[in-house]
Structure 1
Amino acid sequence: MNDINNIKLNDGVVVPMLGYGTGTAVRLSGKEESIDFIKMAYSEAKLSHLDCAQRYFNEESIAVAMRDLGIKRDDVFITTKTEDGETPLKSLKKSLMLEEIGLGKAWEMMEQLQRERKTRSIGVSNYRIADLEETLKTAKARRTDDSDTRFVVPSVNQIEVHPYVFEKAKPLIDYCHKKGIAIASYAALASIVRHPGGPVDQVVKDIAKELGMTEDQVLLKWAHQVTYGGIVITTSLKKERLQGQVKAFSHMPDLSDAHVQAIIHAGKKLHYRRFAGHMDS
């Protein structure tokens, strides 16, 4: 995998900290052209963590891009999401043309797939505290090599994280941290891309100017820090922008506590959800 900083999940699997979300590429450019953007993200921006989802019909695009570039399976970390039930899981394996799949909601089946070594990690997406508590009640115990027994805790919870949703998300983020569940945040740039002109804009601009960085870099780093060092999923159709975002993790130092809190404080002045759903427990 590339030299972007990695994090280790609760199951010991190492994941590149920054992932490329392929849903936007498919939505904005279509299935065929999206393959070129995935190739660009991997070869030009050196992003080896590729994020997809069954409902966005972008799994096959990743498989085709890998085939065209001659990418070995061990050279990439693929995260995908599926709905519950056996049919979607069979569809995943067929569309990805891979032996391993990523995140999912069908917990019992995902546990079985992990036991069969068909996936490295299993986690959840858009789970609230109540959803996680219910999952943890039914999670099966398994024996490790040293005969210790432990529960199969989700390795990741992928949720929306940006300044205008952080106040609502924080209890969930804290809960996951206590349970050893990593946060994978998406929509980190929503405050300036999807809802510009809000109270966060000037704060982020000032911090970026002070540090000699871009606003994208500041917000991506912020999302990583407020999720206790979590994974951040980004996206762009522009090579230069993606390359700059990578530098937020390969070259940029951590934001100071003052910077982090300034963005949090500004975000409290407005609530904006980019995607449907809620984070209440």
Structure 2
Amino acid sequence: MAVLTDVYELNNGVNIPKIGFGTWQIPDGKVAYESTLTALKEGYRHIDTAKAYGNEVSVGRAIRDFGIARENVFVTSKLPSHIKDHDGVLKAFNETFSDLNIGYVDLYLIHAPWPWRNIGQKCDTENVEAWGAMEEIYKSGKARAIGVSNFNVHDLKNLMKNTKVTPAVDQIQYYVGFTEPKITAFAKAHNILIEAYSPLATGDVLHSTELTALADTYNVTVPQLALRYCLQAGVLPLPKATSQAHIAANKALDFMISTIDMISTIDMERLNACQDTAPSHFHNETQG
């Protein structure tokens, strides 16, 4: 399906498939291996993992066993958020490099601007040091692009002011009704691609009566509507699933949500105006 091989161009010229297969909360071993392998069989060509997920070994093995040419699959991993010192960054990356065992990483991200155990802590100096090591990894060719996750506008400005390489990506929590507009606007103004983790709010968007009604008008599921919304907003969604049926359904996005340039219903504007469609969902303190 074309949507799985369509690409965005990152700010360093590297192409990244417009949909990624997310592996957060997928345990290492059989489940991570089989779900990743299923995603590849279904045509996904962008796999997102992280050292903190604990499943890099299984993800890497699935990619190798699938037998795809390395240049035809895009793989992202992430630096644990609490590691901010130069040597620690290099050590963590080398462990990821070894665990994945796929020759190189396409995109390597700082997982968060603060340790997960202390969300919101200011780590400006530490992030600059960590980014310096990330730049070394990038220059080595072991990562084709580098970026960040959960960074707000202040955190992005801090890196851009004090380092040489602008992040290629900011991966943030993003779904219908929770689109972190300040971060998104700043990133787009500086050619930083927004990636949407939890684009389905870990399934909570399924409880939205508004999305359910609108999805019915397009004869699609709520997840399909929510993922298509991300794409039409110029954002890269990272849906996670473990069953073959859901993995396959999440790629069936060959429809268009109406816009002002199409017909009078302007459903994209309706979705843009939505209140939080999963208000009880956990929200990281990244907006600002």
- What's the TM-score, normalizing by structure 2? 0.81
Residues 104 and 125 in structure 1, CA contact (< 8 A), matched pair in contact too: yes
SS in 2 for 1:80: strand
Q: 1:75 to 1:196 in 2, by over 3 A?
A: closer
Q: 1:95 to 1:269 in 2, by over 3 A?
A: closer
Which residue is 2:274 aligned to? 266
**Which protein has greater RCO, CA pairs closer than 8 Å, 6+ apart?**
1
Q: Note the residue ranges of structure 1 that are not aligned, 5 or more in a row.
A: 141-151
Partner of 2:170: 157
Describe the shift of the 1:81–1:270 C-alpha distance in structure 2 as closer, same or farther (beyond 3 A). Answer: closer
Contact 1:124–1:158 (CA<8 Å) still a contact in 2? yes
1:18 and 2:25 correspond:
no
* 2:40 and 2:66 in contact (8 A); partners too: no
Deviations 1:30-69 (A, max 9, x none): 52332011111111x2111000000111111111112222
Counterpart amino acid of residue 214 in structure 1: T
Report what 1:256 is aligned to.
Answer: 259
Unaligned runs of 5+ in 2: 84-88, 111-129, 261-265
1:125 counterpart residue number:
149
Distance verdict in 2 for CA 1:196–1:232, change over 3 Å: closer
> What letter matches 2:21 in structure 1?
Y
Amino acid at match of 1:67: R
- 2:9 aligned partner, one-letter code: K
Counterpart position of 1:189: 200
Which residue number corresponds to residue 115 of structure 1?
A: 139
| Aligned counterparts of 2:26 and 2:276: Cα–Cα separation in 1 | 31
Number of residue pairs aligned between Structure 1 and Structure 2: 255
The structure 1 residue matched to 2:43, chosen from 46, 56, 65, is: 46
CA shift at 1:76, angstroms? Answer: 0.7
In structure 1, distance between residues paired with 2:206 and 2:74: 32
Structure 1 residue ranges, 4+ long, deviating more than 4 angstroms after superposition? none
Please state whether the residue corresponding to 1:260 is helix, strand or coil.
Answer: helix
For residues 280 and 14 of structure 2, what CA distance do their matches in structure 1 show?
A: 33
Counterpart of 1:64 (choices 46, 56, 61) is 61
Q: CA RMSD in A?
A: 2.2
Q: Which residue type is aligned with residue 15 of structure 2? A: V
In the alignment, residue 211 of structure 2 is paired with which amino acid? Answer: V
Normalised by the length of structure 1, the TM-score is 0.83
Q: For residue 240 of structure 1, report the CA deviation from its aligned partner.
A: 2.2
Q: Secondary structure at the match of 1:184?
A: strand
**Structure 1 residues 211-226: aligned runs within 5 Å:** 211-226=218-233
Q: Does the 8 Å contact 1:188/1:234 carry over to 2? A: yes
Distance in 2 (CA, whole Å) between partners of 1:82 and 1:209 is 40
* Residue aligned with 1:61, SS: helix
CA distances 1:8-43 after superposition (whole Å, capped 9, x unpaired): 1111111111110112332xxx52332011111111
Deviation, structure 1 residue 177: 0.4
- Identical columns (%): 23
Contact 2:198 2:238 in 1 (8 A): yes
> Counterparts of 1:81 and 1:171 in 2: how far apart (Å)?
23
Aligned partner letter, 2:256? P
Q: Which amino acid is 2:267 matched to? A: H
Alignment partner of 1:127: what SS? coil
For 1:174 and 1:35, locate their aligned partners in 2 and report how far apart those are by CA, in whole Å: 36
Q: Give distance in 1, aligned partners of 2:277 and 2:246.
A: 28
Structure 1 CA distance, aligned partners of 2:98 and 2:70? 15
